[in-house]
Amino acid sequence: MAVLVTAEDDEDIRMLVARSLRKAGHQVIAVANGREGLAAVRKHRPDAVITDIDMPYMTGLQMCREIRRDPELRHIPVVVVSGSLDCEDTHVLEAGVTAVIPKPVAAGVLLHQLTEVLAHPSQRAGKSLT
């Protein structure tokens, strides 16, 4: 299936998300912060990125901005999982986020929405996946 980078600083959530994605057949590179996430994106060139917002060293939005600045990476969909932002937040739009999924998110919802994002990777920002 897809190669995915997921960045989440909460170890329990990171493990649950990675396990759910792997169980669905995806190859998952799970990291603990945005800086590690950006390095993983550069190294693995994933089909999509799933990230938390508030993380140490680099936030999910900062990571998304860096991905969008790189001509070789900017096509990669970035899905933000957040309890505090929605698709119309100016920070989301400015960063170039592909989609926002509200927290808490169930594994089934995440997988369903990820399938939608992977099917339409050219869509950018402004899409709330609820």
Spatial CA neighbour of 6 closest among 60, 46, 50: 50
Q: Rounded to an integer, what distance in angstroms lies between the CA atom of residue 124 and that of residue 94? A: 11
**pLDDT (0 to 100) of residue 128:** 43
- What are the tens digits of pLDDT across the range 62-117? 999 999 999 999 999 999 888 765 556 667 778 888 888 888 878 888 898 898 88
**Do 46 and 5 meet the contact criterion of CB atoms below 8 Å apart?**
yes
Pick the CATH number of 3-119 from 3.30.70.920, 3.40.50.2300, 3.30.420.40, 3.20.20.10: 3.40.50.2300
What single letter denotes the amino acid at residue 54?
A: D
**pLDDT (0 to 100) of residue 112:** 86
**pLDDT (0 to 100) of residue 37:** 97
Residue 5: pLDDT band with limits 50, 70, 90: very high
Residue 126: pLDDT band with limits 50, 70, 90: very low
Alpha helix segments (H runs only) across 1-130: 11-23, 34-44, 60-69, 90-95, 107-119
**Do 117 and 76 meet the contact criterion of CB atoms below 8 Å apart?**
no
User: How many other C-beta atoms are found inside a 10 Å radius of the C-beta of residue 86?
Assistant: 12
Model-level pTM? 0.88
- What are the tens digits of pLDDT across the range 8-52? 999 998 999 999 999 999 999 999 999 999 999 999 999 999 999
Residue 57: pLDDT band with limits 50, 70, 90: very high
